[in-house]
Structure 1
Amino acid sequence: MQENNVLHNGIRLPDEWPPRLPDPDRVKEMDVPYLSEKPVVIPINVGRQLFVDNFLIKETNLTPVYHTPDFYAGNPVLSADKQWELTPEGYAYAGPFSDGIWYDEKEKKFKMWYLAGAGAISTQKHSLCTCYAESDDGMNWVKRDLDIVPGTNIVDTCNRDASTVWFDKTEPDPAKRYKLFLIEYQPDYIEWQYVLKYSSDGIHWSETVAQSGAVSDRSTAFYNPFTRKWVLSMRHHNKVSWRSRSYLEHSDPEEAVSLAHRLREGVRDKHIVFWFTPDDKEKRHEKYPEVDPGIYNFDAIAYESIMLGFYSQWQGPENYIAKSLMIPKRNEIMLGYSRDGFHFSRPDHQAFMGVNETAEAWNYGNMQSINGTPLIVNDSLYIYSTGRSLNGIWWDAGTSTGLARLRRDGFVSMRTDKEGFLTTEKISFDGRYLFVNADARGGLAVEVLDEKGNPVKGYSKEDCLVFNGNETKALITWKGSDDLSSLAGQNVHLRFYLNDGDLYAFWISPWQTGESRGYTGGGGPGLNENGLDFPE
């Protein structure tokens, strides 16, 4: 966060933060104040600028198109093939329940933490533990024999529900590089509680350093680098929906965990606020249209200049029906976008990663989001999820992990099949080189306008060297100049002229190599090890 509660993008946070929203009396879409009251000038020095909402757009005749990733043909990439990945009853679990999949640029490894059966270490009914796997390519995973439970890849033996493994690449203390926010089962009046542990390697974890009061299951955590806060995303029950969310933030993860407990409806808490319910546009299950959808979980991560929000959206049926039919309930993963980390817009309510209700599918039902994703692999994003199969053994088991791939920045594009334009709001920058992520089938030109909307001499449409091609990082130049350094610090508009194509993102980099200074999600091969898109 910058001075006076002004964020990197010019958004000014209100004095009361986080906002204290009233208890809901109906399901509704979240209001996003910064989309209706935009900053007068939008600084664009942090990250690629994505067209996931109208924040950057002053006027356009291009049409937004919402894209979904392609599932990898070799899915699942990880499934239960070890005896210890079964519960004492024999039910198979091998997939993150949020947990995490990250890329370690120092060790050049993809790393996964996941929920597994704990039959090898417990006789308690439905016991679950945490395991670890790693990969060189993100598709082929190895379960190493580790020393926590010798001969297995178990790294934490606590009986658990959800967890978050956060790979904190900027943590100055090596012993706290990995942070584990575990929803641990306590066989007493507490039932579930957050416990926080640290690790230097993600394998050997400390004793508990902080624990919460009683919380509900399927609660998780994330870090918002734009406000420098740790956020607990907690399942919240209210009269509108038993599958809503409450919110707690703190600069210290130990304090955040220590302050957490169930938020009671109608009771004002000093630290925890109601966040959101399902909204009135949620997708419904076509076989159970009478079931009101819910938000089963919500994970988030910084990507470039925004926060991505992954909704595990529940459509039913209720557990007792799913159990009687021996089918997994349907959860699908939806996507939302935020520029302050609290208010998320959802311009599209269709499944971003959906179920496949065919008999042999790994993701027949109960898909769940995973922390750390997306990972950046060359020009693609690797996005993982779990799913549950129609396994014929138990309705709530058969969990495995799948991979889907999307173009880098490819969540939303602005499209035209003829000549079109897009003009940005007033922006400022301190970089030099203009880059775009675009599929310009008929050509793309960029014009710089002054504050009054007049073309800047030397940077008109006619001066621009037209880009033709399909690239995720293409440099834009003009006849008299290769860069925009003479305009740095001024307030300008950019106008994109696109002919038959898709525009995904733009940014102005200090470097001719095009690094954006944005956040790189869970990381990726060849990226900076600090989690930001800077030259190595």
Structure 2
Amino acid sequence: MAHETLYNGIVLPSPWPPKRETLPPDPMPVPYLDDPPGVIPIDVGRQLLVDDFLIAESTLTRTCHKPAWHPASPVVRPDRPWESGTPGKARGRAAMPFSDGVWYDAADGLFKMWYYAGEMTTCHARSTDGIHWEKPSFDVAPGTNVVMEHPGRRDSGTVWLDPEGPPAERLKMMWYDETVREHVIFLSPDGIHWERLTETGNAQDRTTFFHNPFRKKWCFSLRSTMFYHAADDKWSYSIDRPSGTEEDGPWTYKRIRRYAEGDDLASAARSWPRLGDPDWRESEKGREMAMQPVLWVGADRLDPPVPGSSYVTDLYHLDAVAYESIMVGLFSLHREPFPPLYPKRSDKINMVGVGFSRDGFHWDRPFREPLLEMSDDPVAWNSSNMQSVGGCFLVVGDLLYIYCTGRGGSTNTKIMDFSTGLATLRRDGFASMDAGAEPGSLTTRPICFQGSHLFVNLAAPDGHLTAEVLDREGQVIAPFTRENSIAVTGDSTSARVQWQGAADLSELAGTPVRFRFHLQSASLYAFWVSPDTSGASHGYVAAGGPGFSGQVDT
């Protein structure tokens, strides 16, 4: 099989996805950071500075940034009779995407949310601003906003908006039927009326899917398990207990992720086998089927434990989305099964971290502090079990809207609420390269582009940025010198960089060059070369947003 070369110059080895034999406690190796391409094409998207892939040398300091909770959070809470929980179960009320999905649909200019409203229903809410949500009445269950009544008890699911798909398949849904222990996929033209497509291979609950548009692949983030023997420091990757007994004994159960992909959603779902038996986990053959997708990723030794706890953090879930020139992953990290160290909490101790991938498989996770974390208030809406949503986040003006779920509102698990919160972050704002009063610089690796106009995402209200262009060997190319560079000041997520004596960068199109940025009292979040003076990046905008005709910034 021929090697695949990606949009950013990374060459994928064959076979792909790679087969991992183990998930060691050390952070996941990232081959493209150890051996980047000799010349990196940058025509797709804003170039985020979350790692050193693009950086040859720098005297700047990388700073990671956390979003802030929107004061309206939770923006969706259970307030309808049909959101009152699951019949026969002592659980609280629910209005939360259990992954599910939050999207901006450019077809009608609305924010749209699909969410879990108890184990028997999926509901749909809409908004004009992403903050104030309405729950319209639909004809599926008249008088309610229910869009699917589940014959079996549903667990987590995914809803994915696919604007490039056929009209009848614009929306794709998967949910886990706990009754028959299988994941079922549906298609819809409107997100309200759904037709069954297929089932996946054998997989455990809390499995979801996402689309990787860089490779045009549909990908499954599959929950799987492993077992850890602390005394002997041994790992078993079977989904059944190594002891062969009901009890773990010396083996500790851990959640991990496996991975599967396909050219379309149906072929991806069928890329590993299914037994077709609700009791497949009790069958050796069924368990073997569930282990055919490749080992992918888990928590590692750098993931922070709960202070004072002996519990080893594991990976509860991973949602992913294409954003500008990278894949962004939101890692729901499980830090304590139930809260003996948090006796007033009503559910699991989870937090959401972030990772970045440029090949869609290997994750670099430089920031281990929580991106989204629980409240210290034991009765807050997000006092426990924080998790990400399908689509991950949206681009709304100069901000990213990051939706998430939390459980709380009470220390009594029988009456706690499952709600939906909103946090906001500067666009491209996961990390910045910073200079203080002492000037600093950043020089890129050799890059190439077809565009004409250099833009930066820069915060410099009291400082400035200048730039120069070098050839591949590091010699300055006139007239793109530091002396001719017109200083960029102020705070803008899209500021154009220009030089005296040059209208644009068109004469350098297709030629390997380096950029060198000089900063003082400034923070650089991203740079890109656009074919348009508007600054359109032609990168991906996650789950969309107002002003975009789809999921690409054009």
2:237 corresponds to = none
2:141 corresponds to = 149
State the shift of 1:525 in Å.
Answer: 0.7
1:247 corresponds to = 259
Amino acid at match of 1:315: R
CA distance in 1, matches of 2:30, 2:422: 31
Provide Cα deviations, 1:286-325, integer angstroms capped at 9, x if missing partner. 25x2011010000000000000000010100348x59986
Query: Are positions 1:432 and 2:452 aligned together?
Result: yes
State the shift of 1:265 in Å.
Answer: 12
- Change in CA separation of 1:269 and 1:133 when aligned onto 2, cut-off 3 Å: closer
| Number of residues of Structure 1 aligned to a counterpart in Structure 2 | 513
Q: 1:378 aligns with which of 368, 376, 397?
A: 397
State the shift of 1:469 in Å.
Answer: 1.0
What secondary structure is seen at the aligned counterpart in 2 of 1:254? Answer: helix
1:237 corresponds to = 225
1:505 corresponds to = 526
What is the TM-score with the length of structure 2 in the denominator? 0.89
CA distance in 2, matches of 1:434, 1:264: 56
Amino acid at match of 2:5: V
Contact 2:346 2:407 in 1 (8 A): no
CA distance in 2, matches of 1:53, 1:29: 14
2:192 corresponds to = 203
- Change in CA separation of 1:334 and 1:326 when aligned onto 2, cut-off 3 Å: closer
CA distance in 1, matches of 2:285, 2:344: 34
Provide Cα deviations, 1:227-248, integer angstroms capped at 9, x if missing partner. 1111110111112452111001
What secondary structure is seen at the aligned counterpart in 1 of 2:419? Answer: strand
- Please give the residue correspondences for 1:364-375 in structure 2 after superposition, counting only pairs within 5 Å: 364-375=383-394
State the shift of 1:264 in Å.
Answer: 9.0
- Change in CA separation of 1:265 and 1:461 when aligned onto 2, cut-off 3 Å: farther
What secondary structure is seen at the aligned counterpart in 2 of 1:464? Answer: coil
Provide Cα deviations, 1:229-288, integer angstroms capped at 9, x if missing partner. 11110111112452111001111211222334589999698961011121110111125x
Provide Cα deviations, 1:44-91, integer angstroms capped at 9, x if missing partner. 000000001110000001011000111011111000000100122462
CA distance in 2, matches of 1:404, 1:71: 4
CA distance in 1, matches of 2:10, 2:123: 40
Residue ranges of structure 2 left out of the alignment (5+ in a row): 229-252, 275-280
Contact 1:194 1:257 in 2 (8 A): no
What secondary structure is seen at the aligned counterpart in 2 of 1:242? Answer: strand
- Change in CA separation of 1:517 and 1:313 when aligned onto 2, cut-off 3 Å: same
Provide Cα deviations, 1:76-123, integer angstroms capped at 9, x if missing partner. 100000010012246201100110000011201000000112xxxxxx
Contact 2:345 2:383 in 1 (8 A): no
State the shift of 1:328 in Å.
Answer: 1.3
- Change in CA separation of 1:433 and 1:271 when aligned onto 2, cut-off 3 Å: farther
Contact 2:378 2:411 in 1 (8 A): no
1:362 corresponds to = 381
1:280 corresponds to = 301
1:215 corresponds to = 203
- Change in CA separation of 1:345 and 1:396 when aligned onto 2, cut-off 3 Å: farther
Contact 1:322 1:328 in 2 (8 A): no
1:316 corresponds to = 336
What secondary structure is seen at the aligned counterpart in 2 of 1:373? Answer: strand
Contact 2:185 2:197 in 1 (8 A): yes
1:97 corresponds to = 98
Please give the root-mean-square deviation of Cα atoms over the aligned residues, in Å. 2.1
Query: Are positions 1:477 and 2:498 aligned together?
Result: yes
1:455 corresponds to = 476
Query: Are positions 1:490 and 2:511 aligned together?
Result: yes
Deviates most, 56-65 or 262-271: 262-271
- Change in CA separation of 1:493 and 1:193 when aligned onto 2, cut-off 3 Å: same
CA distance in 2, matches of 1:519, 1:425: 23
2:70 corresponds to = 72
What secondary structure is seen at the aligned counterpart in 1 of 2:390? Answer: coil
2:162 corresponds to = 168
2:43 corresponds to = 45
1:29 corresponds to = 27
State the shift of 1:212 in Å.
Answer: 2.4
CA distance in 2, matches of 1:181, 1:246: 17
Contact 2:541 2:553 in 1 (8 A): yes
Contact 1:322 1:329 in 2 (8 A): no
Provide Cα deviations, 1:505-533, integer angstroms capped at 9, x if missing partner. 0000000011001001111111122x111
CA distance in 2, matches of 1:449, 1:16: 37
Amino acid at match of 2:84: L
2:12 corresponds to = 13
Amino acid at match of 1:46: V
CA distance in 2, matches of 1:332, 1:270: 27
Contact 1:328 1:396 in 2 (8 A): no
CA distance in 1, matches of 2:546, 2:523: 26
Contact 2:261 2:271 in 1 (8 A): no
What secondary structure is seen at the aligned counterpart in 2 of 1:486? Answer: helix
What is the TM-score with the length of structure 1 in the denominator? 0.92
Amino acid at match of 2:449: F
CA distance in 2, matches of 1:219, 1:138: 26
1:121 corresponds to = none
Provide Cα deviations, 1:200-225, integer angstroms capped at 9, x if missing partner. 0001111x211124321111100111
- Change in CA separation of 1:396 and 1:39 when aligned onto 2, cut-off 3 Å: farther
CA distance in 2, matches of 1:431, 1:254: 37
State the shift of 1:419 in Å.
Answer: 0.1
2:407 corresponds to = 388
2:174 corresponds to = 181
Contact 1:326 1:395 in 2 (8 A): no
- Change in CA separation of 1:269 and 1:22 when aligned onto 2, cut-off 3 Å: farther
What secondary structure is seen at the aligned counterpart in 1 of 2:266? Answer: helix
- Please give the residue correspondences for 1:286-435 in structure 2 after superposition, counting only pairs within 5 Å: 286-287=307-308, 289-318=309-338, 327-394=346-413, 397-417=416-436, 418-435=438-455
- Change in CA separation of 1:84 and 1:267 when aligned onto 2, cut-off 3 Å: closer
CA distance in 2, matches of 1:404, 1:140: 14
- Change in CA separation of 1:397 and 1:415 when aligned onto 2, cut-off 3 Å: same
